[in-house]
Structure 1
Amino acid sequence: MPDQWWRLYQDPNLNTAVEQALTHHVAIGIVCRHCHNGHAALLGKGCRHEYQKPIDFIKTSETSKDRQMTSRTISTRMGIGSTAKVFQSQALLTSGLSLDETALILIRRGSKQVGYNGHEYHLNAGDALLVSADTRLDVTNLPATPAEGYEADWLSFPNHIIEGSDARALAISSLSHGFIDAFYHAVAAIKDHAGISDKVAEKRLEEVMLWLEERGIALRLNRVERLTQKVRRMIASEIAKEWTAEEVAHSLAMSESTLRRKLSAENAAFQQLLADVRMCHALTLLQVTDRAISQIAYDVGYESPSKFSTRFRLRFGFNPGQVRTQLIASQQAAIN
């Protein structure tokens, strides 16, 4: 991983034992004083958060299996933003992936291949991808090794889109320390509901947007939503609910026939949107949480895990369990 991604902020309260461990290149477990997440760190190469006293000493770097043993979830501040950490052990091509909120994704391990609008992007650890809401991408997350997997952090900007009609997905490289510091300060703010107010959290996300502006990239409020976006957002708000076209149409103050006609004009259909929102959210839960597949099936509106798995496989071309398992030769051959 590029060195500019990793700088250990040494808290003045770190005790002598920690300093000795660092001197002898011993990996230590330490805790971020902002978000209270535990991380493994080596001399000069650690999480970019600020750390306090050690919680444990270990002798080896963490593997993807070790990381998956920790509790993972999506952290959200309504109307402000969301964040999560993505782990994926297997290289899988995800076609037509749609994001319902603009997101900035920072790659930490492995690499990412993105197909968008006839263009192909390859991003390495240390690069970032900014994707506007309502953008469909073909994405392959490539693990660094089967043991280490693919790892990334993302931060969403609800109600914002990338300025410029043609700019829907942008690759960003050579990130400065200040840019990355701002990103992780925003991540910490989204997570720490008890210690950081909504107002401060908003300002930290605004700082990230200012760093994007330094790179010539502006985010603006999305004042005109397509009907497809409105329907997707409504479904996502209660994703396990038994939504009907009639109910959605009533909520949008139109008849069911008008809803279907307007969706058709945007090359969409209600049942297609309902299934896609559920499947895309299920994929996200597989990548960023430790929930059992049966629980994820229930969370996205399926009482039968087998029916969920069938629908998931039809949508993405692979089984839910493959997102969390080691590389398979057939999948790797398909990517090559």
Structure 2
Amino acid sequence: MTTTPDNSSGGISPLPSGAPIMLRGLCGFAQPYLRRTQYIPNFFFQDATLLLIVSGTLGLSNATDELIVDNDDSLLLVKPGTWANLHKTPTGPQQCFRSYYLTFSSELLEYFQRGRPHAEPKNLNTVQRTPLDTDLKTTLEWVCNSVLSADISEDRLRFRLLDLLAALAERGLAFNQYQAPSTASRVRLMLSESPAHPWTAREVGRALAMSEATLRRRLSEEQVRFDELLIEVRMHHGLMLLQSTHWSIIQVAEACGYLSRARFTERFTKRFGYLPSSVK
């Protein structure tokens, strides 16, 4: 993935040509790009997330929050584990929707919070909007360019991500105090690291040091099933690929673990209510 200057927004302008990036234990980064209005019901923010809307309008709503963002002078912070309905509308001279989607891993948040034992705990609302001042914007651009660069080591990237978290904390913005992840969260994380892999409950249970029966029982206690989690992770991955790459439907299907375009299309349409081809 590459970046080009963008004089209109005053910051980095990544070309929407590559798949989302996921760096285990650090962060994830994606650049949704749409030329059609899109409604996404019940989108799941698995990790702590920062959203910057570069072009277009984003409507976000759930049981506790409802807001509309239509410019790049503010950041949205979303707590991990948040479900929300999203409405993305292309606007502006280029009639497109563009955004930066940056997530922080639970391990990184735990490390950051452990290093600030005397900091006053402040919990973030489910979704919170904050002004993007010059210093915060510069720090965010530095992190995004670092994620995209092949020349930045993981150690250096970790320090830059921690600097961004510190910049947010200085403004009274902090994600939840770290809590041990649920079984469902641990399974989601494992599945999301390789959505195309032919996962089984037995394999995942073994990786989490428990039997298949124990895994299914614990997931049942959290009111979720393994096969439901797998489909949900794959559909979220497919949606992000459709929004951020120029891949064909069959390429996206294969990246989500489906050898059949028809099967992927069926699953996708059932989950989101429209064909994957309508996203392109």
Query: Into which bin does the TM-score normalised by the smaller protein fall?
Result: 0.7 to 0.9
Higher relative contact order (CA 8 A, sep 6+): 2
Moved more, 183-192 or 216-225: 216-225
Bigger drift between 142-151 and 183-192 goes to: 142-151
Q: In structure 1, what is the Cα distance between the partners aligned to 2:45 and 2:177?
A: 16
* 221 and 187 in structure 1: CA distance in 2 versus 1, 3 angstrom threshold: farther
Which ranges of structure 1 fall in alignment gaps of 5 or more residues? 1-34, 51-66, 325-336
Q: Secondary structure at the match of 1:238?
A: coil
1:139 aligns with 2:102: no
- Deviation at residue 300 of structure 1 after TM alignment: 0.5
For residues 72-87 of structure 1, the aligned pairs below 5 Å read: 72-87=18-33
Q: Distance in 1 between matches of 2:208 and 2:9?
A: 48
Distance 1:218 1:314 in 2: 36
Provide the rounded CA distance (Å) in 2 between the counterparts of 1:144 and 1:175.
Answer: 20
Match of 2:68 in 1: 122
Q: Deviations over 1:215-235 (max 9, x none)?
A: 211136734001110111111
Instruction: Give the structure 1 partner of residue 3 of structure 2.
Output: 37
Deviation of 1:177 after TM superposition, in Å, equals: 1.0
Counterpart in the other structure of 1:243:
199
Inter-partner Cα distance in structure 1 for 2:253 and 2:177 = 33
How far the C-alpha of 1:40 sits from its partner, in A, is 5.0
Q: 1:165 to 1:227 in 2, by over 3 A?
A: farther
Assess if the C-alpha contact under 8 Å between 2:61 and 2:85 holds in 1: yes
Aligned twin of 1:300: 256
CA 1:235/1:73 → structure 2, altered by over 3 Å: closer, same or farther?
A: closer
Q: State the one-letter code of the partner of 2:174.
A: A
The answer for the alignment partner of 1:91 in structure 2 is 37
Counterpart secondary structure, 1:219 = coil
Kindly indicate whether the alpha-carbon contact (under 8 Å) linking 2:48 and 2:105 is maintained by their aligned counterparts in 1: yes
1:180 equivalent to 2:137? Answer yes
Q: Does 1:192 align with 2:155?
A: no
Q: CA 1:263/1:166 → structure 2, altered by over 3 Å: closer, same or farther?
A: farther
Cα pair 1:239 1:299 within 8 Å, conserved: yes
- What's the secondary structure of 2:158's corresponding residue? helix
Q: 1:48·1:184 contact (CA, 8 Å) conserved in 2?
A: yes
Q: Alignment partner for residue 48 of structure 1, among 3, 7, 11?
A: 11
- Give the greater-gyration-radius structure (CA): 1
Which residue of structure 2 lines up, in the alignment, with residue 312 of structure 1? 268
Matched residue, 2:118? none
CA shift, 1:169, in A, is 2.9
Q: CA RMSD in A?
A: 2.6
Gaps of 5+ in 2: 114-120
Aligned amino acid, residue 274 of structure 2: F
Q: Distance in 2 between matches of 1:233 and 1:168?
A: 23
Per-residue CA deviation, residues 119-158 of structure 1 (Å, 9 max, x unaligned), is 2121221232212222211111121159421111122211
| 1:263-317 C-alpha deviation (Å, 9 max, x unpaired) | 1221211111010000001111111122111101001010011110111000000
Whole-Å separation in 2 of the counterparts to 1:308 and 1:200: 38
TM-score, structure 2 normalization: 0.86
**Structure 1 residues 76 and 240: alpha-carbon distance in aligned structure 2, compared to 1, 3 A threshold:** closer
TM-score (norm 1): 0.73
Instruction: Quote the Cα distance in structure 1 between the aligned partners of 2:266 and 2:124.
Output: 35
Alignment-derived partner of residue 285 in structure 1:
241
The 3-state SS of whatever aligns with 1:303 is coil
